[in-house]
Amino acid sequence: MTPQDVVALAPPRGMLALIAMILTSMAACFWTSEAEAQPDVLRRD
């Protein structure tokens, strides 16, 4: 299997960039919601 075959099987860079953006946006939403939830717990005490 040549490197050219591997490149042909791999998705185009635009698709990889799109997947990366989706993953980072999901991670950002998760981390921000976690950060916002912590102060609320501290305020109750």
pLDDT(28) > 70: yes
38: in domain: yes
Amino acid identity of residue 7, one-letter, is V
Residue 6 lies in a domain: no
Cα gap 39→14, rounded to integer Å: 38
pLDDT band at 42 (very low <50, low <70, confident <90, very high): low
Residue 17 structural domain: 12-44
Q: Is residue 1 part of a domain?
A: no
pTM, two decimals, is: 0.45
Amino acid letter, 16: L
Q: Has residue 26 been placed in a domain? A: yes
Q: How far is CA 22 from CA 25, 30, 31, 40, in A?
A: 5, 12, 14, 28
> Is pLDDT of 37 > 70?
no
Total domains, the chain: 1
In a domain, 7, yes or no: no
What's the pLDDT tens digit per position in 11-26?
Answer: 788 888 889 999 999 8
Give the pLDDT score at 43: 64
